[in-house]
Amino acid sequence: MTKQAKAESFWGLVSAVIDLQRFYEDSGLFSDDLTINIAIRGRDATGHNGELFYGDESIFKAKPVIANVSLPSGSWHMAAVPKKRLDILLVECVGRFF
């Protein structure tokens, strides 16, 4: 087998069961100090076209900051908006300059 064939050959798979509630807690999504509202879509790594699995759909319609989270088999699509109206105005104003 050539060096390139060895580098490109499949050599294994890892699977893990995740306690989703604990994952959210440990990530800080439930923190009282969190100053943003977050929504995540892309159940089963289906990205922006996927089903919403965390947060409220209205967050995606409120001029959010968007981030893609790359996963081995696809992605999640995250949206965030400030919880306070003053924060929203600041984000909109700063966004106009950058």
Give the three-class secondary structure for 27.
helix
Return the higher-pLDDT residue of 28 and 93. Answer: 28
Report the C-alpha gap between 60 and 52 in whole angstroms.
Answer: 10
* Other residues' Cβ atoms within 10 Å of the Cβ of residue 77: 19
**pLDDT recorded at residue 87:** 54
Domains: count for the chain: 1
Residue 31 amino acid letter: S
Q: Model confidence over 13-37: pLDDT tens digits?
A: 777 888 888 988 898 888 888 889 9
Supply the range of the domain harboring residue 64: 3-97
User: How high is the pLDDT of residue 7?
Assistant: 64
